[in-house]
């Protein structure tokens, strides 16, 4: 077997201007922290999107072209060396990572490229809106200029394109796999071959590039059946076909019409597994793996798990279906064999392994559906609000191959995230719809965090929707029911006529309850 390298083209619209160094604003208190030499500097990398609460502090200094410094009222005084972190990405996952990283005692400052309006507004990170994250040389140069000591790559595309390779070659600690190891997500065929070779339980399958052969196999197997694009398809590459007609249409879409481009040039036709899906995450340092808390996503767009698949309409943690016994089985039969197998193939994996699992109904045993090579979205949101460990130090330990002695601390209770999406998603949807009342919604109940996945500012500085999945409204509680009550109170307080959401997130764990709209 070989480790394939994939070339994924840039998909961000980025341009250049100026940057501000080392500044963080804590939303939870009116305190500015700055332990770096703060100055306003012009250079070629791009524009910082300043967090709105403090932008005006530096406007006059910039206009006068004079260096300025702001001495923080409060600084972290422990002896541990502080780390500047760069998060790559601009979605809800990255917003949640910025939230968790800036809470870490060993974190000095967080940059996020390109970031989004919500990250900028929250003050959890300084957004570098036009650093081209597919230009490894530019990212390396940025890291050297600003003393970045840890890069956390959020989305899969820059990983598959080889960003981690460039950073690691430059000696910059990077949490995220090489392009070769990212093939676990970049190619379903690669992942399935690995499962075959190392006896990792997964659904039986066959790979096809010929539509006629694929259709013949599908007719022999019957429906339901699953059709997957081999490559990255932005969450649109899987069809769970309940009828033969749906399956044959999916084959035509990918192999004949080319609707998914190069991602669909090869397809995987996979057995349909019946059971309960669950997300399992493990941090990996190349040889060792540390499991994270469990979480369960809701992929279908509609209540009761109806309608087409999406990138995820909500999640909760922990997931009761993943018992401690099952977690041990997953580690022993799926995660560890994968880590050891990748190492044996010369593709050591460093980063987070996100295993999409099916707890099969007939056997009550886990099977691997797919791997992602990054934190899931929206599962990352519920994990990050529960994590109590110093995330910076944990991720650095993974980069250094030192996870064997690491254990993670989690808050008790539960967390839930409800995704608010643009009407029409996952099909076509209108962009630019106005979102109001977000600040008020975060105050309707304790522990509410609203993570932005697809927002921007309009000309008047108001939030507008720019994507399909737009907001991840998140809350914690003593139990899942309390987390659920809190999160839906916040969702109801958001004024966004252009959006919708599922009302039954958590229904498997709370099967007799469903949110009822006010009035």
**What six digits make up the tokens of 271?**
């057995």
- With a cut of 50, say whether residue 35 has pLDDT above it: no
Assign 482 a pLDDT band (cuts: 50, 70, 90): very high
Nearest-Å Rg of the Cα atoms of the chain is 22
Burial annotation 375-410 (CB, 10 A radius, 16+ → b, else e)? bbbbbbbbbbbbbeebbbbbbbbbbeeebeeeebee
**For position 67, what pLDDT does the model report?**
29
C-alpha to C-alpha distance for 200 and 196, rounded to whole angstroms: 7
- With a cut of 90, say whether residue 495 has pLDDT above it: yes
* Residues 137 and 223 occupy one common structural domain: no
Domain boundary among 223, 254, 272: 272
Task: Single out the residue of 469, 472, 477, 466 nearest to residue 451, CA to CA.
Answer: 472
* Residues 163 and 230 occupy one common structural domain: no
- With a cut of 60, say whether residue 73 has pLDDT above it: no
* Residues 489 and 436 occupy one common structural domain: yes
* Residues 121 and 166 occupy one common structural domain: yes
Stretch 106-111: mean pLDDT = 98
Mean pLDDT over each residue of the chain, to the nearest integer = 85
Query: Is residue 192 situated within a structural domain?
Result: no
Q: What is the CATH number of the domain that holds 230?
A: 3.30.1490.20
* Residues 170 and 214 occupy one common structural domain: no
- With a cut of 50, say whether residue 5 has pLDDT above it: no
pTM > 0.85: no
Between 57 and 105, name the one with better pLDDT: 105
Domain boundary among 272, 288, 316: 272
Distance of CA 277 to CAs 213, 356, 479, Å?
A: 30, 7, 21
Domain boundary among 272, 304, 321: 272
* Residues 94 and 156 occupy one common structural domain: yes
Query: Is residue 353 situated within a structural domain?
Result: no
* Residues 491 and 433 occupy one common structural domain: yes
Q: What is the CATH number of the domain that holds 452?
A: 3.90.600.10
Query: Is residue 292 situated within a structural domain?
Result: no
Q: Where are the beta strands (DSSP E) in 286-410?
A: 289-291, 296-297, 300-302, 306-309, 314-317, 350-360, 366-372
Stretch 127-142: mean pLDDT = 96
Query: Is residue 164 situated within a structural domain?
Result: yes
Length of the chain, in residues: 519
Query: Is residue 385 situated within a structural domain?
Result: no
Query: Is residue 484 situated within a structural domain?
Result: yes
* Residues 495 and 436 occupy one common structural domain: yes
Query: Is residue 430 situated within a structural domain?
Result: yes
* Residues 424 and 485 occupy one common structural domain: yes
Domains contained in the chain, number: 3
Helices (H) and strands (E) in the chain, counts: 16, 28
Q: What is the CATH number of the domain that holds 104?
A: 3.40.50.20
Domain that holds residue 428: 414-501
Query: Is residue 305 situated within a structural domain?
Result: no
* Residues 418 and 489 occupy one common structural domain: yes
* Residues 497 and 420 occupy one common structural domain: yes
């Amino acid at each position: 077997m070989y480790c394939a390298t994939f070339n994924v083209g840039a998909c961000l619209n980025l341009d250049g201007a100026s940057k501000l160094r080392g500044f963080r604003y804590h939303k939870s208190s009116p305190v500015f922290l700055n332990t770096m030499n703060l100055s306003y500097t012009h250079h070629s990398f791009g524009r910082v999107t300043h967090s709105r609460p403090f932008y005006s502090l530096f406007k006059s200094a910039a206009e006068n072209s004079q260096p300025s410094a702001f001495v923080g009222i409060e600084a972290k005084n422990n002896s541990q060396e502080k780390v500047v972190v760069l998060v790559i990405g601009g979605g809800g996952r990255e917003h949640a990572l910025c939230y968790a990283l800036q809470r870490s005692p060993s974190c000095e400052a967080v940059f996020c490229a390109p970031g989004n309006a919500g990250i900028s507004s929250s003050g959890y990170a300084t957004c570098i809106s036009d650093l081209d994250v597919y230009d490894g040389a530019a990212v390396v140069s940025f890291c050297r200029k600003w003393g970045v000591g840890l890069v956390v790559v959020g989305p899969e595309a820059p990983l598959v394109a080889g960003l981690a390779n460039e950073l690691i070659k430059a000696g910059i600690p990077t949490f995220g796999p090489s392009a070769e190891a990212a093939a676990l997500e970049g190619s379903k065929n690669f992942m399935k071959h690995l499962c075959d070779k190392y006896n990792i339980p997964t659904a039986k399958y066959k790979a096809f590039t010929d539509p006629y052969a694929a259709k013949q196999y599908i007719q022999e197997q019957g429906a339901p059946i699953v059709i997957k694009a081999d490559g990255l398809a932005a969450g649109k590459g899987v069809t769970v076909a309940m009828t033969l007609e749906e399956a044959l249409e999916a084959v035509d879409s990918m192999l004949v019409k080319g609707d998914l481009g190069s991602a669909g040039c090869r397809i995987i036709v996979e057995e349909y597994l019946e059971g309960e899906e669950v997300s399992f995450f493990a941090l990996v340092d190349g040889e060792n793996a540390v499991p994270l808390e469990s979480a369960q996503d809701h992929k279908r767009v509609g209540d009761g798990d109806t309608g087409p698949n999406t990138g995820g309409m909500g999640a909760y943690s922990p997931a009761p279906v993943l018992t401690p016994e099952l977690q041990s089985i997953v580690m022993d039969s799926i995660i560890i064999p994968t880590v050891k197998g990748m190492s044996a193939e010369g593709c050591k994996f460093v980063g987070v392994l996100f295993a999409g699992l099916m707890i099969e109904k007939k056997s009550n045993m886990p099977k691997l559906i797919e791997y992602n090579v990054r934190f899931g979205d929206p599962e990352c949101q519920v994990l990050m609000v529960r994590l109590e460990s110093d995330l910076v130090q944990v991720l650095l330990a993974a980069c250094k191959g030192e996870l064997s002695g690491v254990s993670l601390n989690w808050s008790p209770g539960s967390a839930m995230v409800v995704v608010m999406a643009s009407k029409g998603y996952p099909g076509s949807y209108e962009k630019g719809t106005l979102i109001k009342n977000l600040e008020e919604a975060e105050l309707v109940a304790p522990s509410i965090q609203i993570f932005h996945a697809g927002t921007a500012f309009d000309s008047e500085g108001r939030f507008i929707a720019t994507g399909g999945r737009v907001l991840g409204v998140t809350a914690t509680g003593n139990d899942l029911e309390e987390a659920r009550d809190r999160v839906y109170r916040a969702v109801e307080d958001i004024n966004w006529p252009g959006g919708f959401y599922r009302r039954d997130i958590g229904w498997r764990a709370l099967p007799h309850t469903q949110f009822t709209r006010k009035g």
